[in-house]
Amino acid sequence: MMSNSDNKSIQSQVSRRKRKDQFYHGLMIGLSVITILPVILIIFKLVVEGIGQISLEFLVQTPPDSFEAMSATAAGERIPGGIANGITGTLLMVSVASAMAIPVGILTGIYLYENPKKFLAGLTRNVSDILQGVPSIVLGLIAYLWVVKHITNGFSALAGSVSLAIMMLPMIVRSTEETLKMIPVSIKEAALALGVPYYKVLLRVLIPTGFSGLLTGILLGISRILGETAPLLLTALGSSRINLDITEPVSAIPLLIWEFYNDPNMVDLIWSSSLLLMALVLFLNVTSKQIAKRKK
Amino acid sequence: MDNIKTIKDPVLSIKNLFVSYDKGKYAVNDVSADIKRNSVTAIMGPSGCGKSTLLRAVNRMHELYETIETKGSIDLNGKDIFKMPAIQLRRMTGMVFQRPNPFPTMSIYDNVIAGYKLNGIHLKRSKRDEIVERSLRDVTLWDEVKDGLYKKGTFLSGGQQQRLCIARALAFGPEVILLDEPTSALDPVATSKIEDLMVSLKENYTILMVTHNMSQAARISDYSMFMYLGELVEYGKTKDMFTRPKDRRTEEYLTGKFG
């Protein structure tokens, strides 16, 4: 039989546990909110400050000079012009960087998957991990030494692309290897048992099977380099006009943001450019998440 | 009854075969056996006795792994398999794996025709349709999937997927079908379908099958091999082996003393 006092102590114990439970539950929710709050605040601020500048003109024109911007601001008008040179520059450099990093990264990833225990594979894996941690400004310096000094003899989109490609490479290598590792060995063996030559097994069975994984890696890699600024300062330099020649200096959205920051008359353009960049990065991230989800 | 290590006009003739994963340790140790045409031959034995290793030597799957060494000879229709290109050999031997493994990106139709498609052999549409229908009819899957041939193969049930994999192996018209515990991942109903299938397939093909399941070997095989620690202990007609095993180890295995 349970005495009355026992019953009471159990009740108080239970209610104490319940309060503790509620406390930790609340703490968890609070900390989660703190985690996502910065992102929400950033997006909110960017939209509020930047949306006013966004228009077709913003996408197809080059930036105004300081005087034009000043007079527009003084008159309380929208700053004329846009960031077309930055958009085309970013697209150019990201495309060239992808064209360099994707094939090399995927082939390296395949090599690591095929020869997991070889010395060279272990070395490659470690080096690619180290590469991922190299500060981007250092990669910019390296591209400056290699390309700016010796190949294009001056600041160039190519140099920018090389530094971005080196940044992107380790992500693609590792995501390729991890994706292929998830494919059951028996799928590969089944194709080989049909007498299919190895390169066709790779091209027509393994890569299609892991396609969404590879694509996710590539999109995340692109979203990673999209906003890089530091290495571009040393390589692409920036340009006030639209340039599609990879041997010439070129602008980029993050470079323009840096330039606008240095000009007190251009403040509004900082917000709108950042908004556009953020939107691109978010779009790539969400797309890659959707692809990864569909895979499961 | 003797060990039937040599027979007339065998499909496969295995002589003094050694396979090692580690240097000096043989997973298959000096195995010699001839495999009879148009029959079901079962390879039995406890785990790790080398039965899958023996099976995978026949289509030179071991060459995918650098550390595996193979010695000895295997003749397929009198020709040394180690002297022909691996690709040619593998087109003459269909393989079915433990777990159903249809190509996940391909439709049912494409899975059946995969041997042609992946090898870049171009066929007329009508010829392709014919091969797909015949192969799927051979594995009694046609009626179940004929209305959804362009759905992904991975949407089928496990048993259906395994029959699809057998159809994929048949489509090329191989000499020998190698099955590595093909029913171990399936439920009893699907298992019995596959077993019936193997009995009917031996009219046109030679079947070499690894099985963990003694009663399965007894039900469907004509000949049985019993392997133990890499050696071929006993090989003979299934009926004889199950009623009058010659070797003490075979008897102990069959009566469940180990396994």
Q: Are residues A105 and A249 in the same domain?
A: yes
* CA distance to partner chain B, nearest, from residue A293 (Å): 16
Extract the tokens encoding A248: 């010439």
Asked if residue A157 is part of any domain, the answer here is yes
pLDDT at A295: 61
Question: Quick check: B98 and B184 in contact, CB under 8 A?
Answer: yes
Reported pTM: 0.81
The whole-angstrom separation of Cα A141 and Cα B23 is 50
* CA distance to partner chain A, nearest, from residue B71 (Å): 20
pLDDT at B185: 86
Extract the tokens encoding B118: 């992946």
Extract the tokens encoding B62: 């071991």
Is the per-residue pLDDT at A1 higher than 60? Answer: no
Most confident of A1-5, A83-87, B190-194: A83-87
Closest CA to A100 of A145, A165, A148: A165
Is the per-residue pLDDT at B1 higher than 60? Answer: no
* Chain B environment of A193 (Cβ under 8 Å): 59, 61, 90, 93-95, 169
Asked if residue A69 is part of any domain, the answer here is no
Please count the structural domains in chain A. Answer: 2
Is the per-residue pLDDT at A206 higher than 70? Answer: yes
- Which among A189, A190, A195 is the nearest to B87, CB-wise? A195
pLDDT at B177: 95
Asked if residue A253 is part of any domain, the answer here is yes
Asked if residue A59 is part of any domain, the answer here is no
Higher per-residue pLDDT: B213 or B42:
B42
User: Most A CBs within 10 Å: which of B64, B66, B135, as the mutation test of the A interface?
Assistant: B64
Percent of chain B exceeding pLDDT 90 equals: 84
* Chain A environment of B104 (Cβ under 8 Å): 187, 209
Q: Are residues A205 and A102 in the same domain?
A: yes
The DSSP letter of residue B92 is H
Q: In this predicted model, what pLDDT tens digit does every residue of A85-140 receive, in sequence order? A: 999 999 999 999 999 999 999 999 999 998 888 999 999 999 999 999 999 999 99
Torsion region of B22: left, alpha or beta (phi above 0 gives left; psi -120 to 50 gives alpha)? beta
- Which among A189, A205, A209 is the nearest to B118, CB-wise? A205
- Long-range contacts, A54-59 (Cβ 8 Å, 24+): A54/A272, A54/A275, A54/A276, A55/A82, A57/A81, A57/A82, A58/A82, A58/A83, A58/A272, A59/A83, A59/A84, A59/A87
The reply to whether residue B118 touches residue A191, judged by beta carbons under 8 angstroms, is yes
Q: What residues make up the domain containing A5?
A: 1-53
User: Most A CBs within 10 Å: which of B66, B84, B97, as the mutation test of the A interface?
Assistant: B97
- Which among A186, A195, A209 is the nearest to B90, CB-wise? A195
Q: Are residues A29 and A89 in the same domain?
A: no
Q: Are residues A35 and A154 in the same domain?
A: no
pLDDT at B182: 93
Q: In this predicted model, what pLDDT tens digit does every residue of A169-188 receive, in sequence order? A: 999 999 999 999 999 999 99
Q: Are residues A16 and A105 in the same domain?
A: no
Look-up: residue for tokens 């063996």?
A: A189
Total residues belonging to chain B: 259
| A208 in reach of chain B (CB within 8 A) | yes
* Chain A environment of B99 (Cβ under 8 Å): 184, 186
Last residue within a domain, chosen from A53, A71, A93: A53
Q: Are residues A218 and A259 in the same domain?
A: yes
The whole-angstrom separation of Cα B134 and Cα B144 is 14
Q: In this predicted model, what pLDDT tens digit does every residue of B104-162 receive, in sequence order? A: 999 999 999 999 999 989 999 999 999 999 999 989 999 999 999 999 999 999 999 99
pLDDT level of residue A2 (50, 70, 90 thresholds): low
Q: Are residues A141 and A279 in the same domain?
A: yes
Closest CA to B185 of B211, B167, B207: B211
The reply to whether residue A205 touches residue B64, judged by beta carbons under 8 angstroms, is no
pLDDT at A294: 75
Question: Quick check: B11 and B206 in contact, CB under 8 A?
Answer: yes
Asked if residue A63 is part of any domain, the answer here is no
B255 burial via Cβ count (<10 Å: 0-12, 13-18, 19+):
exposed
Question: Quick check: B55 and B214 in contact, CB under 8 A?
Answer: no
- Which among A186, A194, A209 is the nearest to B114, CB-wise? A194
Q: Are residues A110 and A236 in the same domain?
A: yes
Q: Are residues A1 and A122 in the same domain?
A: no
Asked if residue A146 is part of any domain, the answer here is yes
Q: Are residues A256 and A184 in the same domain?
A: yes
* CA distance to partner chain A, nearest, from residue B129 (Å): 19
Q: What is the DSSP string of A187-211?
A: HHHHHHHTT--HHHIIIIIIHHHTH
Query: What mean pLDDT is reported for chain A?
Result: 92
pLDDT level of residue B2 (50, 70, 90 thresholds): very low
- Long-range contacts, B3-7 (Cβ 8 Å, 24+): B3/B234, B3/B235, B3/B236, B3/B246, B4/B33, B4/B34, B4/B223, B4/B235, B4/B236, B4/B237, B5/B32, B5/B33, B5/B34, B5/B235, B6/B34, B7/B34, B7/B36
Taking CA atoms, what residue in B is nearest to A210?
B105
The DSSP letter of residue B223 is E
* CA distance to partner chain B, nearest, from residue A127 (Å): 25
Taking CA atoms, what residue in B is nearest to A204?
B118
pLDDT level of residue A3 (50, 70, 90 thresholds): low
Asked if residue A194 is part of any domain, the answer here is yes
CATH code assigned at A281: 1.10.3720.10
* Chain B environment of A205 (Cβ under 8 Å): 103, 105, 118
Look-up: residue for tokens 């590969």?
A: A188
pLDDT level of residue B172 (50, 70, 90 thresholds): confident
ipTM of the complex: 0.90
Is the per-residue pLDDT at A14 higher than 80? Answer: yes
Q: Are residues A159 and A19 in the same domain?
A: no
Give the three-state DSSP class for A223: helix
Q: In this predicted model, what pLDDT tens digit does every residue of A223-236 receive, in sequence order? A: 999 999 999 999 99
Extract the tokens encoding B64: 């995918």
The contacts of residue A26 (CB under 8 Å, 6+ apart) are: none
The whole-angstrom separation of Cα B91 and Cα B175 is 9
Asked if residue A76 is part of any domain, the answer here is no
Mapping DSSP onto H, E and C, the string for A92-156 reads: HHHHHHHHHHHHHHHHHHHHHHHCCCCHHHHHHHHHHHHHHHCCHHHHHHHHHHHHHHHCCCCCC
pLDDT level of residue B3 (50, 70, 90 thresholds): low
Q: Are residues A190 and A249 in the same domain?
A: yes
Extract the tokens encoding B201: 């397939």
- Long-range contacts, B84-88 (Cβ 8 Å, 24+): B86/A195, B86/B60, B87/A195, B87/A196, B87/A197, B88/A195
Beta bridge partners of B178: B95, B208
* CA distance to partner chain A, nearest, from residue B45 (Å): 22
* Chain A environment of B61 (Cβ under 8 Å): 189, 192-193
The whole-angstrom separation of Cα B153 and Cα A124 is 37
Taking CA atoms, what residue in B is nearest to A183?
B104
Look-up: residue for tokens 């099976």?
A: B55
Q: In this predicted model, what pLDDT tens digit does every residue of B53-107 receive, in sequence order? A: 999 999 999 998 888 999 999 999 999 999 999 999 999 999 999 999 999 999 9
Mean pLDDT of A263-282: 92
